[in-house]
Amino acid sequence: MFHRRFTGLSTANPADERFPGTLQFCDSAIAGQGRRRVRLSWPAPSRKLEVKPMLRLSANLSWLFTEVPFLERFGEAARAGFRGVEFAFAYDVPERAIADRLAEHRLQCVLINAPPGDYAAGERGIAALPGREEEFVASFATALRYAAALGCPRIHVMAGLVPEVARRSESRATFISNLRHACEAARAQGVSVLIEALNPRDVPNYLFSTVSEAHAIREAVGAPNIKAQMDFYHTQVVEGDLATKAERWLPDIAHIQIAGTPGRHEPDIGEINYAWLLRRVEELGYGGWVGCEYRPLTTTAAGLSWRDRLVPLRPIA
């Protein structure tokens, strides 16, 4: 049996570096045969394991990289490692200019919002506002034109604010009717229409604020391309129980968004355990994008280290 230690994976001989996976020499003693030197081989180590995120992260350019003008944010997102981007409203920018930036930086546009009405005046969508149906039809046609130019497969339609409780039933019916029109118009283009529950602390008087209300509306619309957008930040503020809700509704969730709660900063700041939650979403089989829709605590770049800690990794085959 061996009675002296191995000399290690390499020796002082430069030629030995050509065999990094070889045990070079050792002394041996076999009963009755004296001492001799033998060369032992050891399997060469495999190549370094490459990994990639299990979930696809999308940078929301309405919230991230706002240190630079809108069109410059695409390059910033690409240099930060994102391959998908989304944004709320960019209808003041020609769609061709946005498409050029996507192509230049090899980015996918995964989500846009339909025009929200008069955002500066406080409107947050018009799809649920009775009497503005024609305006909605025209605005959604604009959204479809942008989606076609950008290769974007999802459009989020905002319902709007309904402060009068007595009008909520009428507004809900208007919303459902307008969504049916939107889904029919979007179907030929291969686009899904998304709706999202918004919390009343950030968006008071929005038509609906719970996940169950969003899915009740989705079911009432009844179109195959009507889907839900689940923002874990909004859901946590209103009702919590995020994993259970994600599991229940996953087949009808086409997009997820994340932010820390309560401050809506980076996902590693606050009460949501995203390391566990994102892993659970992956285990459930979610194959869509996860939008990073948060307000950086300082600068966008300074806060991106959360991705290394919270997003599960898997080997690249």
β-pair partners for 154 = 192
Amino acid at 149: A
Choosing from 95, 196, 239, 282, the catalytic residue is 196
| Distance between CA atoms of residues 290 and 84, nearest Å | 9
Terminal CA-to-CA distance of the chain, rounded, Å? 41
Asked if 259 contacts 232 with a C-beta cutoff of 8 angstroms, the reply is yes
Q: Would you state the structure tokens that stand for residue 112, as one six-digit string?
A: 């846009």
Q: Which of 264, 127, 139 is nearest to 208 (CA)?
A: 127
Sequence-distant (6+) residues with CB within 8 A of 81 are 307
Collapsing DSSP states into helix, strand and coil, what is residue 27?
Answer: strand
The reply to whether 196 belongs to the active site is yes
DSSP annotation of 14: G
Residue 42 has a CB neighbour count (10 Å cut-off) of 13
| Distance between CA atoms of residues 4 and 17, nearest Å | 23
Q: Would you state the structure tokens that stand for residue 65, as one six-digit string?
A: 């990289």
Backbone angles phi, psi at 288, to 5 degrees: -90, -170
Choosing from 86, 95, 266, 293, the catalytic residue is 293
Report the 3 state secondary structure along 257-291. Answer: EECCCCCCCCCCCCCCCHHHHHHHHHHCCCCCEEE
The reply to whether 293 belongs to the active site is yes
Sequence-distant (6+) residues with CB within 8 A of 168 are 162, 207
With 0-12 / 13-18 / 19 or more C-beta atoms within 10 angstroms meaning exposed / middle / buried, residue 4 is exposed
Residues identified as active-site: 196, 293
